[in-house]
Amino acid sequence: MSRRGFLWGIVLAPALMLGLISAVLVTAFAVKHIMTDGGAFAKAPRFLQDLARDVYQRQRSIWQAQRECIEFDEVLFYKPKTGQCVFRNLEFSTILTFDGKGFRRTASLPQQAGKGSSGRVIVLGDSQAMGWGVQDEETFASVLATEYSLDAFNLGVSSYGTARELLRLRKEFELRSGDVVFIQYHPNDLSENRAFLKEERMPARSPADLDRLSHTAQEYGVFQVSASIAFIMKGRVMKHLLFSGEDEVFSGTIHTDTFLSVLDRFPELKQVRVVVCEVDNFGRDESFADDLDRRRKDGITVLRPRWEATDFFRLDGHMNARGHRKLAGMIAEVVSSGQAGRASDRGQGR
């Protein structure tokens, strides 16, 4: 390198670094603004919306990482702790109430519970079913109880896959003939379901593993947001450079094969009616539901809501109260019409 080139390098390197830092700070101000202003978020370009969601996902509070909300379980790794648990994030502040078995409270009217109701619905699923971000009375299980006179039991737990959901059902609930078991599916259930099938049980965990589940939520100041943006962009660049074209892509068929194999391990489901609905973040992925619906599996009804953006928190990706109410209406319609469990029936959102 010539002396002139060397000198230019000394001059340009700090300038480029300063420009990069300035760009990150400007972006951080924009991201911070649209994260707290719904109107600004709606008008922001898509790339900025996606970046704001990525920053939020990295910095948000995680329900199952709050030790006051969970307790160790030898079979399930963790389950909800009896009592109330406060859970907050940018878009919500909630109190979750769990009964003695760790089922989330449904706002059942005392005179309805087990007396002349239209049937029992047992809700299984992950954080979407549990009701991440909504109050006890706003979950679709609660809406089923209060508005449709159904005995609804909410066994949903954040981050559970189908296998763990069914293990909990077997361990803590006694099914009856005629019950409706509603299973909410999320694409990230796949890895846990595959691990279960490989060993015919969940991986062994200890209380020490639960201690390592901790996660500290971060503030949303400009410097914290800037640090998250830098981390996210670095990750994207590294992924593009090192792993481009090597991502393992799982089709809806693999999800469905694995899901049905898990269900086969639980013969007690043959005595009940099973309703399945895929709820991905922001309602965007339905490849599993598409494939399961095409197969017309005996004993399984597939619900296909027509999700709208207003059914989900704009940053978080979980259903809001509106989304829960929509899903409750669809479940109630299937149960009351006697369609649940008939594979030829297909629910539609409104």
- Domain ranges (residues) in the chain: 63-207+250-348
Q: Report the pLDDT value the prediction gives residue 246, as an integer from 0 to 100.
A: 47
The CA distance from 136 to 247, in Å, is 39
Q: Report the pLDDT value the prediction gives residue 110, as an integer from 0 to 100.
A: 44
The separation between CA 6 and the C-alpha centre of its own chain, rounded to angstroms, equals: 53
The CA distance from 134 to 331, in Å, is 19
What is the token pair recorded at 312?
């989900």
Query: Tell me, which fold does domain 63-207+250-348 have in CATH?
Result: Rossmann fold (3.40.50)
Q: Hey, how many other C-beta atoms are within 10 angstroms of the C-beta on 209?
A: 13
CB distance 34 to 220 below 8 Å: no
Looking at the predicted structure, is the pLDDT value of residue 264 above 90? yes
Average pLDDT, the chain: 87
The CA distance from 301 to 343, in Å, is 5
CB distance 313 to 132 below 8 Å: no
Residue 248: pLDDT band (50, 70, 90) is low
The CA distance from 15 to 209, in Å, is 46
- Closest by alpha carbon to 281, among 60, 28, 33? 60
Residue 132: Cβ-neighbour burial (10 angstroms; 0-12, 13-18, 19+): buried
Q: Report the pLDDT value the prediction gives residue 11, as an integer from 0 to 100.
A: 55
Q: What is the pLDDT of residues 123-174, one digit of tens each?
A: 999 999 999 999 999 999 999 999 999 999 999 999 999 999 999 999 999 9
Average pLDDT over residues 168-181: 95
Looking at the predicted structure, is the pLDDT value of residue 244 above 70? no
Q: Hey, how many other C-beta atoms are within 10 angstroms of the C-beta on 128?
A: 28
